[in-house]
Amino acid sequence: VRHLMVVFGDQLNLNSAIWDDIDPDRDLAWMAEVTDESTRTWSHKVRIAVFLSAMRHFHEALEQNGIRVRYQLLDDDAEANTLLDCLAVSIKKEKPERVVAVEPGEWWLRQGLIELCDELTVPLDLLPDRHFMCTHDEFEQHAKGRKQLRMEYFYREMRKRYEVLLDDGEPEGGDWNYDSSNRKSFGKSGPGKLPAPRTFKPDKITQQVCKHIEALFPDHPGNLEHFDWPVTAEQAEQALRDFIKHRLPDFGDHQDAMWTDEPWLYHSRISAAMNLKLLDPRDVIKAAEQAYRAGDAPLNSVEGFIRQVLGWREYVRGVYWLHMPGYLERNAMSARQPLPEFYWTGETEMYCLSQAIGQTLEYGYAHHIQRLMVTGLFALLLGVDPHQVHQWYLAVYVDAVEWVEAPNTIGMSQYADEGVMASKPYVASGKYIKRMSNYCQQCVFDPDQAVGEQACPFTTLYWDYLNRNEKQLSSNRRMTLQLRNLEKKSDKDLSEIKKQAEAWRAELSDQH
Ligand code: FAD
Ligand code: SF4
């Protein structure tokens, strides 16, 4: 074998640099399914199924393209159970002249691959991942000399560089940001009839994968009954087209809204397909911009959506690589509480949490505001150890891969990096959830009350969070308003809030 071409499970890209210089007669592609990838993080069954099914379909696509593949199945009598041990076995067997790989998305895997090839004295060619629109060097360049990174400035640079939504070099419509138009709730009447997203019935390959998962990981969280995610590049493209046509026009207005038993609303459901590299972000952005230019979708929706893909997605990757290793251990607020047991069952009287966690366990999906302002917010206010929160998010979502999950969880939602990702902690009381959803109407608690039997735990813990962390937060100018409101509370109120918050903490750690 001339080149052993390593393809990891989230590198399912027929246009990647690894295929530029292939010699089908002398090169061998290498892919492996290993149990460690599903058990190291106690993964949701649907997350495992998306990865494995997409990998098996990609294996087929490679062979159809005349590429020879050494593919290890999960149920093979494996000589090794981790990716790198498995690769070591293949390198020893095949004795390639070189190992070629696109740089892994995960810091640990990149490091491990370099060390393995070093140990086995085989040359390694690590190629840049062309899927992304900002390279590591470019992000470092952007970060250089800045005391504090801000997504907004990075995003504007990316818009200019790729000439996205520009009008003669200026932002389309005159503003870079339409966030203020994108925070509408569904009001009292609710979302009405929503356009159901395009779904994909499991084919034979997916059915087989699901069977293996049930046999091998019966106790893992999640439910495979409703599996309908795209697992090939063609399906991912269809999912994108369906979103652009039917949901993008309303995406902006209701981006942050939540509603009982409506997991998808106007969201795209393409994160997993993009993270596996079945979809190119350039195509996603182009399709959204075209819809705007054709008059099929308004600017606030299209800009709001493009901001997520060209802005946030590339930005979090930059932050991850800039701050690894070490980022995963951050705990700036010294949070030590265990993750409540109900995160794994959805069984809690707090209706918003039972909805967000319930649909997560059912489908492996919750949209951004549910992740940030329901499950993430509760863990932040309660003071949960950010590493445990990180482990949970990595386990339960179909789109979970470390480079995107970790900055979103440890940084944006838990503020454990003290401002690398977000300029202030995303903290709010139950009143925010009341404003953005109908959850509170069905809850035993009252979001307007901070103490007493009916007090909403979010509201109690919000004031307690500000009170506990007042000193640390007071140097942050963006917290001034919230801290000024805290000062208006009497000592008696604050002492009752503290007592009630401590009772919640004690109860939830006892259940753990
Ligand atoms: P849409 O709402 O339709 O958005 C469109 C696309 O924009 C998404 O598909 C995604 O690729 C991108 N995007 C949106 N927000 C972000 C963001 N904050 N960071 C990066 N990309 C973004 N996203 C993941 O892909 N994997 C994760 O493991 C992940 N973990 C998260 C953990 C927490 C605590 C939070 C707050 C957010 C996390 N996100 C993660 C970001 C975001 O919630 C998901 O990308 C989004 O909900 C996926 O659903 P969708 O495809 O319907 O997205
Ligand atoms: Fe959630 Fe509090 Fe509203 Fe209940 S009252 S749904 S706990 S925010």
* Claim to verify: residue 458 and residue 363 sit in the same structural domain: yes
**Range(s) of the domain holding residue 52:** 3-127
Containing 395, the helix (H) or strand (E) segment is helix 386-396
Instruction: Please say whether the beta carbons of 245 and 196 come within 8 A.
Output: no
Dmax (CA) for the chain in angstroms is 79
Give the SS3 label for residue 492.
helix
Same structural domain, 123 and 140 = no
Is the whole model's pTM more than 0.90, yes or no?
Answer: yes
Please state, in angstroms and rounded to a whole number, the distance separating the CA atoms of residues 348 and 342.
6
List Cβ neighbours of 298 (8 Å cut-off, separation of 6 or more): 249, 252, 292
Give the position of tokens 């009630």.
500
Q: Are residues 345 and 365 in the same domain?
A: yes
Domain count, the chain: 3
Calpha distance 326→235 (Å, rounded): 37
H or E element, residue 166: strand 166-167
Do 118 and 191 fall into the same domain? no
Best residue for ligand 2 mutational test, from 350, 429, 504 (most atoms within 8 Å of Cβ):
350
Question: ipTM of the predicted structure?
Answer: 0.99
298 shares a domain with 362: no
Is any ligand 2 atom within 6 A of the Cβ of residue 456? yes
Four-point Cα dihedral 39, 35, 105, 389, nearest 10: -10
Are 37 and 142 in a shared domain?
Answer: no
Ligand 1 pocket test, candidate residues 41, 254, 408, most atoms within 8 A of CB: 408
Q: Residue 428 falls within a domain, yes or no?
A: yes
293 and 353 fall within a common domain: no
Rounded CA-CA distance 181/192 in Å is: 20
* Three-state secondary structure call for residue 69: strand
Last residue of a domain, one of 127, 145, 166: 127
| 450 Cα: distance to centroid of ligand 2 (angstroms) | 11
User: Over its length of 512 residues, how does the chain's per-residue pLDDT go in tens digits?
Assistant: 999 999 999 999 999 999 999 999 999 999 999 988 888 889 999 999 999 999 999 999 999 999 999 999 987 667 788 999 999 999 999 999 999 999 999 999 999 999 999 999 999 999 999 999 999 999 999 999 998 899 999 999 999 999 999 999 999 999 999 988 899 999 999 999 999 999 999 999 999 999 999 999 999 999 999 999 999 999 999 999 999 999 999 999 999 999 999 999 999 999 999 999 999 999 999 999 999 999 999 999 999 999 999 999 999 999 999 999 999 999 999 999 999 999 999 999 999 999 999 999 999 999 999 999 999 999 999 999 999 999 999 999 999 999 999 999 999 999 999 899 989 999 999 999 999 999 999 999 999 999 999 999 999 999 999 999 999 999 999 999 999 999 999 999 999 999 999 999 999 998 76
Q: Is 72 helix (H, G, I), strand (E, B) or coil?
A: strand
Q: Which two tokens stand for residue 454?
A: 């009916």
Same domain assignment for residues 51 and 114 = yes
Listed in sequence order, the residues at least 6 apart from 406 whose beta carbon sits closer than 8 Å to its beta carbon are: 320, 327, 328, 390, 394
Which residues approach ligand 1 with their CB closer than 6 A? 267-271, 274-275, 305, 308-309, 312-313, 316, 367-368, 371-372, 376, 393, 397, 399-400, 404-405, 408-409, 412-413
- DSSP codes of every residue in 182-218: S----TTT---S--PPP-----HHHHHHHHHHHHH-T
CATH of the domain at 366: 1.10.579.10
Q: How far is CA 484 from the centre of its chain?
A: 33
User: Do residues 406 and 467 share a domain?
Assistant: yes
